Amino acid sequence: MPGKPGKQTFDLFDRPIDWNGTVAFGPLTQSVVQAGGATVIISIIGKTNIETANALHSWVVTGLDAITTLYGHFPVTELQLLVFPVGRNSDSVPWGEVTRGGGDAVHL
């Protein structure tokens, strides 16, 4: 169904109804980068100061560059990245899992 003028709409892809997905609402810092032929939307969730947002952005771009170097291109044409800062920790990523519900994803 088309959205109303001036309203943002979202398209959902065909996926099995019992697959998980992640949705985030609230304040976020968003940027769009190109990586190996892909458009990547980086969304840092929550209120984040500019220094932290810049550090997280750089960290993500370094990872995108590494994936592009590995494959010679980015393996998908579009990617939505949700970054949920969880506070200070000595590990960049305390854990990770691959999820496929709501679209293929890696949850770190």
Helix and strand totals (H; E) in the chain: 1, 5
Boundaries of domain holding 64:
28-86
Domain total in the chain: 1
Instruction: Write the pLDDT tens digit of every residue in 42-96.
Output: 888 888 888 888 888 898 899 999 999 999 998 888 888 888 877 666 566 666 7
37: left (phi over 0), alpha (psi -120 to 50) or beta: left
The 10 Å Cβ neighbour count of residue 80 is 15
Is residue 76 within 8 A of residue 104, CB to CB? The reply is yes
Tell whether pTM > 0.85: no
**7 belongs to a structural domain:** no
**12 belongs to a structural domain:** no
Handedness of CA 79, 71, 56, 21 (dihedral sign): positive
